[in-house]
Amino acid sequence: MSKITDIVAEMAAPVAEKHGCELWDVEYVKEAGNWYLRVYIDCPGGVSIDQCEAVSRELDPLLDERDPIEGAYTFEVSSAGAERKLTRPGDFERFMGSKVEVRLYSAKNGRKEYVGTLKSYESGDVAIEVGGADMEFKKSEIAGVRLRI
């Protein structure tokens, strides 16, 4: 069976497109004992509250009908945000040359977080420029990468 996030992404992408947006990400996480299903959308020029509401209103009954999640959860639709996570190869290509924050699972040179300019992305490996020096991180080291303002 497919992961919940994959099923929801398949359902949410056409709904987001219908409202002039693109699906950015879907997450299903447990926080403080409660489950949250979050759908993140993006639009050229930014996402409005009306677009979030429209996507939510249209997607909610589809989720109820298909019922991909057992049990209770809170459903949210929001903008990917200015400091969004980069996860797909296309995300990295789109924001090449932008300022990013790389978080690591384990400390490297005494630090678990590095902020710099995104220089390259290849098969999950990331290189950034930090203070004039290039740093490379293997996919296995990286806990997450997000845009940084």
Q: Which residues contact 62 (CB under 8 A, 6 or more apart)?
A: 11, 15
Whose tokens are 């005494």? That residue is: 110
Average pLDDT of the chain to the nearest whole number = 94
CA 38 to chain centre: 10
Q: Which domains does the chain have, with CATH numbers?
A: 4-79 (3.30.300.70), 89-147 (2.30.30.100)
Q: How confident is the model at residue 1 (pLDDT cuts 50, 70, 90)?
A: very low
Q: Which residues contact 92 (CB under 8 A, 6 or more apart)?
A: 86, 118, 121, 126, 145
User: What's the mean pLDDT in 14-36?
Assistant: 95
The answer to pTM > 0.85 is no
pLDDT tens digits along 85-136: 998 999 999 999 999 999 999 999 999 999 999 999 999 999 999 999 999 9
Token readout for 33 is: 């004992």
User: What's the mean pLDDT in 10-22?
Assistant: 96
Q: How confident is the model at residue 45 (pLDDT cuts 50, 70, 90)?
A: confident
Beta strands in the chain (DSSP E): 22-31, 34-42, 74-79, 99-108, 111-122, 125-130, 133-137, 142-147
User: What's the mean pLDDT in 63-69?
Assistant: 93
